[in-house]
Homo-oligomer: A and B are copies of this chain.
Amino acid sequence: MDFEPSARSKDYLERVKRFMREHIEPAEPRYHQEIQAAARAGDWKTWPVSQVMEDLKARAREQGLWNLFLPDEKLAPGLSTLEYAPIAEETGRSLMAPEVFNCNAPDTGNMEVLWKYGTDAQKERWLEPLLAGDIRSVFCMTEPDVASSDATNMEATAVVEGDEIVLNGAKWWSTGLGHPRAKVTIFMARTPDTGADRHHQHSMVLVPLDAPGVTIRRMLPVFGDYDAPHGHGEVHFENVRVPVSHFIGGPGMGFEIAQGRLGPGRIHHCMRCIGAAERALELMIDRGMNRTAFGKPLLNLGGNRERVADARIAIDQARLLTMYAAWKMDEVGALGAMTEISAIKVVAPNVLQRIVDDAMQIHGGAGLSMDTPLSAFFAQARTLRLADGPDEVHKGVIARIELARRGFSRR
């Protein structure tokens, strides 16, 4: 057992850290001003392509700090999930960083799906511009009318008619839908005529966002924040027609692909949460030691220092569990690491939410406004407790496996 990261992982982490310090941190205020002004000014349709972002992307790509998430040595540095994890943590400290390194959700998951299951034509048309950061993508799974935590509830349909697939259904919380460069979505739906078992009745289909019948109804705020320029949206598909070549992995492969897609994605999400939590803790300490009340720095009042300790303990535990999940996934695959992946999916966002909540308390009103990243971190944590499966579903999975280990095998 050895907790030392690999030389390659440490090297990339060092370079990413330097890039963040030298290039991203100084650019953040300008970027957020730009984004917030655009967001306030009116409709999401006018959200601009940010030149600040484009410049940073170009520079990151130049330095080889690009697509670090992808475990392919030809298309990317080819880090393992375990090696990439500390880098995901580092980028989680900044709200803009993941996009700078072309490592932001849902593009990462979409790129992985295309990389693993895409045809050459699909790769050429969609994976290449995504890897280049020229376009962005969307993932359409959650539906407004059913409890989407149970994927078998899904009502959208992808019906084969001749050499076309006809798509119908309403989707929401489709992340990335608001980005001015969003061009394509992966649409998940039932393909009712497969005759297959209940885990092979769903498909994933590539759909250009400008296809006729695709209508973005609205963007959805989280606690009032639209998370520009990506944003979560509601989008309806009415008799949208695409060629059958747009199936990913063929009809009926939706669940299988979804399972594989979620493993690394959850590791990334959780590591970013941990980076965000570290930053929230730093903000809490700095504010708490620099402001005074009743003759003492705020942090020396009441139970505040215990909260700092609780945060350190929670972060370190969450990080180790996520790294362990990454290692296990690399070693035995997402299925064998299911307990660990579900566990971090519960732990990391909750740790982040609690630490941010404490940090807000130390910041007073400033912590609730957008003058610090805290409120965006809070929205991120709160959203993640639902996205990719709510806490309760993951706990159900963990308990089921645990009971099976003791020989109690039926739910």
Contact = CB atoms under 8 A, between A and B. Distances in A.
Given A3-B324, A147-B291, A395 B302 contact: yes
A328 B3 contact: yes
Interface in A346-402: 346-347, 357, 360-361, 364-370, 375, 378-379, 382-383, 385-386, 390-400, 402
Interface string A33-72: 0000000111100000000000000000000000000000
A130 interface: no
A365 B172 contact: yes
A402 B320 contact: no
B320 A146 contact: no
A301 interface: yes
B313 A364 contact: no
Given A3-B327, A232-B365, A327-B3, A406 B303 contact: no
Contacts of A383: 365, 368
Interface stretch (A180-188, A235-243, A268-276, A304-312): A304-312
B379 A224 contact: yes
A285 to B, nearest CB: 5
A333 to B, nearest CB: 15
Given A306-B302, A306-B395, A386-B364, A343 B312 contact: yes
A142 B365 contact: yes
B292 A153 contact: yes
Contact of A302 (B82, B293, B386, B396): B396
Interface string A281-310: 110011001011110011111111111111
Say which size band chain A's interface belongs to: 35 or more
A392 B306 contact: yes
How many copies of this chain are found per oligomer? 4
A148 interface: yes
Contacts of A406: 282, 285-286, 289
Nearest to A357: B382
A294 B153 CA distance: 9
A108 interface: no
Interface in A120-169: 142, 144, 146-150, 153
B150 A294 contact: yes
Contacts of A367: 386
A5 B327 CA distance: 13
Interface of A: 1-6, 9, 40-43, 82, 142, 144, 146-150, 153, 172-173, 220-226, 232, 281-282, 285-286, 289, 291-294, 297-310, 312-313, 316-318, 320-321, 323-324, 327-328, 339-340, 343, 346-347, 357, 360-361, 364-370, 375, 378-379, 382-383, 385-386, 390-400, 402-403, 406, 408, 411
9 contacts: A1-B6, A142-B364, A153-B292, A302-B395, A302-B396, A305-B399, A309-B396, A312-B402, A313-B346
